Amino acid sequence: MRLFEINNELVVLATDDKNTTLEDPKTKVKTIIPKDPNKPGMIRKDPAGKNLVLDKSTSGEVDNTIKPGQKVQVKQNNAPQ
């Protein structure tokens, strides 16, 4: 299963200095996003500053204010048809 095939909203299960673990509440599929700024996958607040957004194609740092239980929207980039 690929990230674009799962729900558009994931829940933060855990976060530490190296990774953030997300889970699809519907399918229970877990996704680990590295906090390494050189690897793709960046979680940050949206431009309005309200919601967290996962951009899986952009490299960068993961927001350090993320806490377990928060919801993260998945930004859809070029999902195959």
Q: Above 60 in pLDDT, residue 3?
A: no
Q: Above 60 in pLDDT, residue 2?
A: no
| The two structure tokens encoding residue 33 | 């996003």
- Cα 74 to Cα 15, 53, 67: the distances in Å are 17, 6, 17
CA distance 5 to 65: 27
The whole-model pTM stands at 0.77
- 38-41 contacts at long range (C-beta below 8 A, 24 or more positions apart): none
Sheet holding 40-45, edge to edge: 30-34, 19-23, 9-15, 71-74, 52-59, 40-45
